Structure 1
C-alpha cells in the first residue's frame, strides 16, 4: 500500500541529512518534554523502567524505541510521539530496556518481563509499536516462542530491522547488529536464529495477531526493502492461517525517511499509525 504525502521526493544523498535534522528535533523536543510520568520500574536494572501518558480508559499501546541497541541511545526521541498518540486516544507505555553488547537475549527478556509486569497491574497492551531496533523487538513479540504464553497483540513495526543476517551483511549501523549479538552470523548462528524475525518466519513461526510493516521509501538507515522482503517471506512460508483470519501481515510504504515514521508533525504518518 502506498501512502500519499505532500513531501517532495529527494535524492538519496540528502536523505541522511534530513534524517539527522529530524532526529535532532525529536531529541530536543523529547528532552524539553522530560519524563512523561515518574519512571516506574519492572526490574532492578536502571534501564528496566517505563513512563506512562494518556487517559486510564483508553486502550494501551506499548512503544519501543530504536537506536540499534546501543546503550547510549534511549527513549527520549520517542516522547513527542508518545504525547501525540495519547492525544489520539491511546494510553502509552514508553519503555526502556537493557541494551548490552553481546547479550541480545536480555533485551528480549526485558520485553517479556515488562509485559508480564504491565498485565499484573492492569496495563496490558493491546498493541505494540516499535521503531527500527524497537521494531525488531515488536516483531519478536509476535513471532518468538518466548512470548507464546502471553496473549496475542497487534504489532506495528516501523522501519524495523527485520532481517538480522541481512543487517549484519549490509553493515547497518556500522556493524551495530554484530555488536549487539556478539559476532557475525557464521560465528553465532544459533543466536541469530533465535532473535532474527526473518529466520523465525522461514522456520514456520506464525504471527500471533495482525502485523503491520511500515517503512519510509527514502529510509537510508534501514532500507524499505527489509520490510518488503519480510512480507514476501511470510507469503512464501504460508504464514496466513485459514483458521485465524486476523493473523496476517501487511506492508505499508510512506513517502519519508527513517525518522519521519516517529515524527508527530507528519500528519499523514500519525493518521496511518493510529488508523491501522
Structure 2
C-alpha cells in the first residue's frame, strides 16, 4: 500500500470565525411564507455563528435597488417574473456575493460570473443557500474548470499554513451526493471542504454533470477528469464521496489505484445492483445508470464498487447507525467483501444520520478525521 505523509494536523474550522450577515431578498411574487422564511433566515445562520435579515421587493426595480445596497452576502429568491429573473445575469459588485435560489425545479439557470444558483430543493433549499452564502463569504474558494461544460469545475481551498519543505501533502477530493439528481450540487460539501482545509489538506470540491441530465457515462468521465486535473506536482489523493458520491469516489479510485492513497465512503451507495432491486432513492439507481440491473448487467458490474473488488486502494467506510437500514447494510457488506478480496478496509460506524457524516460538528465526522490521519500515517 502506498502511504502518504500526514498533512498539518489543524483544528478544522477555526474557533474564531468572521461574523457574516446574510441578507435574504424576496423578489416579487416569489413563493413561500414570509414568516417561515424569516425563521429559517434567523436560525440557519445562527448555527454558523452568522446572522441573517429578510427584505422584500415589490417589483424588479426595487429588487435591483436592494442588490446595490451594501451587504456581505445575499440569498435572493427572484420569483417567476421575467423582469426580476433578468437580474440574475446582471454583472456588478453584488454578483460574487449572491446566491440565487429557486424553490422550484427550474433546471440550471444562467447567472452572472461569480454568482451561484440553487434550485429544486423547496424551502429546505433556503437553509442550504444560507450555508453556501456563509461558507463562500467566510472561506472563499478558487473556481478551477477541468472541462468546457458549466458543470465541470472544482472549488479549490488551500490550507492557511504552507506545506512543509519536502513534505508530500495528500489532496482531499470531495464528490457530493444527492442520488445523482441535478438539484443537488457541490455546495453540499462546503462545510466538509472548509474543515479539511483547516486541517492542512488542499481540497478540491468537485462538481460534475449529473446523469439525470447528461447520462451515466458523462458523470463517471467527469469524476475521472476531475481527479486527473489535480496538479501532477501535488501529493496522493484522498477521495471522499458522500451517498451517491460514495459510489463515484470508490469507482474512480478503482480506476486510478496508483494515485489514490485512500478512498472514503460517507454513507455511500456501494452495491448498485442491490440498490436497484430495493429501489433506493425512489428508483434513483436505475435513473442514473439508464435502466435496471436485469437490463444492464455489464454497466452495473463496471459501476458498482462492491462488484469491482478488489479495488487495490485502502478504503474507509463511514456509516451512521441512524441512517436508513439499507445504507447501513451495504456499508457492512462492502467492508466484509473488500477485506475478503484482499483490500484494506475499515468500517467506521457511529451514532448519526445520513448527513451527520458530512457535518464537521458531528461526533462521527471527528472520528472519521482521526481514522484518516491514522490510515495516512
Identify whether the pair has TM-score above 0.5, normalized to the shorter chain: yes
1:189–1:24 CA distance, 2 compared to 1 (3 A): farther
C-alpha contact 1:50 1:94 (8 A) present in aligned 2: yes
Partner residue in 2 for 1:225: 329
C-alpha contact 1:131 1:157 (8 A) present in aligned 2: yes
Matched residues, number: 241
Aligned partner (choices 166, 190, 206) of residue 95 of structure 1: 206
- Which of the pair has more CA radius of gyration? 2
Q: Does 1:152 align with 2:260?
A: yes
1:56-83 Cα shifts (integer Å, max 9, x gaps): 5253110111011111210112101111
Q: Which has the higher helix share?
A: 1
Superposition deviation, residue 272 in structure 1: 2.1
TM-score by length of 2: 0.59
TM-score by length of 1: 0.79
Q: Equivalences for 1:256-267 in 2 at 5 Å?
A: 256-267=352-363
1:192-214 Cα shifts (integer Å, max 9, x gaps): 1110112222xxxx232221111
SS in 1 for 2:260: coil
2-structure distance, mates of 1:23, 1:220: 22
| Structure 1 alignment gaps of length 5 or more | 1-19, 241-246
2-structure distance, mates of 1:181, 1:83: 31
Aligned partner (choices 225, 231, 253) of residue 349 of structure 2: 253
2-structure distance, mates of 1:272, 1:107: 27
1:85-107 Cα shifts (integer Å, max 9, x gaps): 11122111111111123721222
Q: Which has the higher contact order (CA 8 A, sep 6+)?
A: 1
SS in 2 for 1:213: strand
SS in 2 for 1:162: coil
Q: Equivalences for 1:1-276 in 2 at 5 Å?
A: 25=127, 28-34=130-136, 36-55=140-159, 57=163, 58-101=169-212, 103-120=215-232, 122-123=233-234, 125-143=236-254, 146-147=255-256, 150-201=258-309, 206-220=310-324, 223-235=327-339, 238-240=340-342, 247-276=343-372
SS in 2 for 1:140: helix
1:190–1:209 CA distance, 2 compared to 1 (3 A): closer
1:18-43 Cα shifts (integer Å, max 9, x gaps): xx999975553123323842311000
